[in-house]
Chains A and B, each alone.
Chain A
Amino acid sequence: MKLRIGILALQGDFAAHARTLSGCGVETLEVRRVAQLEGLDGLIIPGGESTTLLNLMRDEPWFEALKRFHADGGALFGTCAGAILLSNEVVDRDQSSLGLIETSIERNAYGRQIDSFEAGLECPEAGADRSDPLKVVFIRAPRFRRVGARVDLLAHWEDDPVLVRQGRVLAATFHPEITGDDRLHRYFVEQVVAEAGGRLPQRTEVRVPITSAGSPTQTEAHATAVEPSRSTPQGENAPC
């Protein structure tokens, strides 16, 4: 039984995430309606425009549904606009967000498109070190301005945290999905979704780590966040 990862497809680079996940041994699904969250193990909120996503999310009770998805044990990964939506505060703007990770985030904090840049990041959890950095791009990227005590910092660019995790929620201010480097998606699937995921009947199948990068303290720290009640595979074969 493969893990089922949804990609929020209201707007943004959802297709790039699907391509990147294609080598990760999971089933992917484009999610445009709330009902499609049923039976997913994880959800990616892609890059795009956060104002557009918020606008489209007014049509259905998305906020309630996504908070419930998280509370019920679903794992989430947001990149760029996705990280903005997951944060608990958007700095200097009257913009709502889900508040699923204790971060304050500033939109377009590096400038306009002309200031967008490619970079290589060290991220031991994803098996990326100085000699083989994670290839990422920052496009009109946001910046985490404050990070709560319960948030783990997994990667930095210059002095800023750019990849953070709090339990089942992973958030990146950059795009790992358009460079062909799928190590961070593997980390999400193998370390975040699988750790959280009691929704899986045969979890061991997908828990084989590709890299030996995940530090034991990391794993322990997040083990406490896993709720026991999620072994019921309810809604697993729900039609979409």
Chain B
Amino acid sequence: MEEQKGTLRLKTGLAEMLKGGVIMDVVDADQAKIAEDAGAVAVMALERVPADIRRDGGVARMSDPKMIQGIIDSVSIPVMAKCRIGHFAEAQVLQSMGIDFIDESEVLTPADEEYHVDKFAFDAPFVCGCRNLGEALRRIGEGAALLRTKGEAGSGNIVEAVRHMREVQTGIRRLTVLSPEELMTEAKNLGAPYDLVRLVAESGKLPVPNFAAGGVAIPADAALMMQLGAEAVFVGSGIFKSGDPKKRAHAIVRATTHFNDPKMVAEVSSGLGAAMSGIETSKLPESELMQTRGW
């Protein structure tokens, strides 16, 4: 049998390997090393963490390839990087550099307000954000190998990630109790591909893994998201915007593994120093929300 590359099984396969782990945002090689040493399962290379992007304003773009390369060279774990929504040329650059997972991310300023990237055109796997089942299935329909909740990046507030995870899970459960003739109408209401709607209705789960992202700041946030059905956790600003990143990173890794063991979560949560100061997301004006970018 000839070898095959770039298949969907290989793409979702890497996502399977990341399960039960924590993917950490890092802005340079030093942070990447700290993340790896603390037990990160992968790092997300970006120029500014979401909290700083939010503060600075302006257009947020793909990171400088030189900085990404520095991170690739400094760690042995997978390296992810973000492209703007719809910016397939940024995605091509990231793929050419050997990025292991491309995040088509609402944290960056969208490049296309109508179309997301055709992810089947790439050999590198893509992760995309979602707020509900319809959005999840649209991204899978475009070739995403991994989903994550959008949450509200850089907010340090878990409420939006919880809302999005519950929306997805409730949507899945709902499909499993509908009768076959109801599924087409549901596909229309969700704005999702009919075949994927049927697949989820039959299997009771998404065909690709679903991780949590957007607002994780303390170990118990990670445990909460895992218990709500997330299979791994992205932490953006929560680690390197806190008082003691090394210790906090280490603690969130443990809380993600032992998410069902409150004693363990209590133990690792003790004495971590200051968490990032958060934002009350309901007070954010619509124009400042990142989660509404993309569709």
Chain A contacts to B: CB under 8 angstroms:
9-16, 32, 47-49, 51-52, 55-56, 59, 80-81, 93, 107-108, 111-120, 133, 137, 139-140, 175, 178-179
Contact = CB atoms under 8 A, between A and B. Distances in A.
Nearest to A178: B13
A112 B258 CA distance: 29
B14 A107 contact: no
A119 B41 CA distance: 25
Contact of A113 (B19, B38, B124): B124
B16 A113 contact: no
Interface of B: 1, 3-7, 9-10, 12-14, 16-21, 36-42, 76-78, 95, 98-101, 123-125, 231, 250, 253-254, 257-258, 261
B125 A113 contact: yes
Q: Chain B interface secondary structure, helix, strand, loop or mixed?
A: loop
A112 B76 CA distance: 10
A112 B79 CA distance: 9
Contact of A119 (B1, B39, B101, B253): B1
A108 B79 CA distance: 13
B272 to A, nearest CB: 16
Contacts of B231: 15
A14 B20 contact: yes
Contacts of A117: 3-5, 10
A13 B3 contact: no
Contacts of A93: 76
Given A47-B16, A114-B95, A178 B42 contact: no
A178 B78 contact: no
A49 B5 contact: no
Contact of A49 (B10, B38, B77): B77
Contacts of B5: 114-118
Contacts, number: 123
Given A49-B21, A178-B16, A114 B98 contact: yes
Nearest to B250: A55
A114 B17 contact: no
A118 B261 CA distance: 37
B222 to A, nearest CB: 13
Contacts of A49: 17-18, 21, 41-42, 77-78
Contacts of A47: 16-17
Determine which residue in A51, A108, A120 has the highest number of CB atoms from chain B within 10 A of its CB, and name it: A51
| Closest CB pairs A-B (n = 8) | A120-B1, A55-B39, A113-B100, A13-B16, A117-B3, A11-B20, A112-B98, A118-B4
A179 to B, nearest CB: 7
A12 B14 CA distance: 10
Given A32-B257, A56-B254, A114 B124 contact: yes
B199 to A, nearest CB: 15
Given A49-B21, A51-B77, A113-B125, A56 B39 contact: yes
Contact of B13 (A32, A107, A114, A116): A116
- Of A9, A55, A119, the most chain B CB neighbours within 10 A belong to A55
